[in-house]
Chains A and B, each alone.
Chain A
Amino acid sequence: DQQVKQNSPSLSVQEGRISILNCDYTNSMFDYFLWYKKYPAEGPTFLISISSIKDKNEDGRFTVFLNKSAKHLSLHIVPSQPGDSAVYFCAASLNSGNTPLVFGKGTRLSVIA
């Protein structure tokens, strides 16, 4: 049961360029989406979120885009930095957050200097 899918297990990007991480979901009832970053031996760190009433949310170098009709969201990192190298998880929830998060499998981003 893969309600949240991240189809790219890994991505390599040159420093300074844009990183685009993608996520698809199947449950149209999801109304809140989050991106977490995870370093080895650490817990997921919250990056950015978006509510289903919006199609874009921006925070510094990070922008999340939501396309509800396609059930697709993406995380853009511009410019990418070596410190951004980590595993990025997409997560979704019902009822705006205080319900179980459903995670994707993650995408490992490597930013090459």
Chain B
Amino acid sequence: EPEVTQTPSHQVTQMGQEVILRCVPISNHLYFYWYRQILGQKVEFLVSFYNNEISEKSEIFDDQFSVERPDGSNFTLKIRSTKLEDSAMYFCASSPWTRGTTDTQYFGPGTRLTVL
């Protein structure tokens, strides 16, 4: 069964450093998402991406964050200058986008980001 994959599974970085989290969505899916879950808190939406541009973004997704689909398979989340409060599990998700029907978002296993 197709699945969303994410790399790395765990990333440790120093405060102020840039990190890039990588995702390979399910191959025929058209909508891509990033969510995050800070330890002990809810899963929160960050950004959605469709047709090579951001579709929606939350208040969390400020100028320090960016997303990119550099090729036909990868979807990346970049944090330019990490802060301690960016430490969280980051989940990538994708959905097929089928006109006229409901769509389900399928999640990857997550990347645990630890900012020291």
Show the binding face of A for B, using Cβ within 8 Å.
32, 34, 36, 41-46, 49, 51, 89, 91, 96-106
A42-B109, A43-B107 are known contacts. Are A104 and B42 too (CB-CB below 8 A)?
Answer: yes
Interface centre among B56, B105, B107 (most CB of A within 10 A): B105
Q: How would you classify the secondary structure of chain A's contact residues: helix, strand, loop or mixed?
A: mixed
Q: How many A-B residue pairs have CB under 8 A?
A: 62
Show the binding face of B for A, using Cβ within 8 Å.
4, 6, 31, 33, 35, 41-45, 48, 50, 55-56, 58, 91, 95, 97, 101-110
Which 10 A-B pairs rank lowest in CB-CB distance, beginning with the nearest? Answer: A97-B103, A100-B45, A43-B107, A103-B43, A96-B102, A43-B109, A44-B107, A97-B102, A43-B110, A103-B42
Chain B residues near A49: list those with CB within 8 A: 102, 104
A36-B107, A46-B104 are known contacts. Are A98 and B31 too (CB-CB below 8 A)?
Answer: yes
Measured CB to CB, the nearest residue on chain B to A31 is: B102
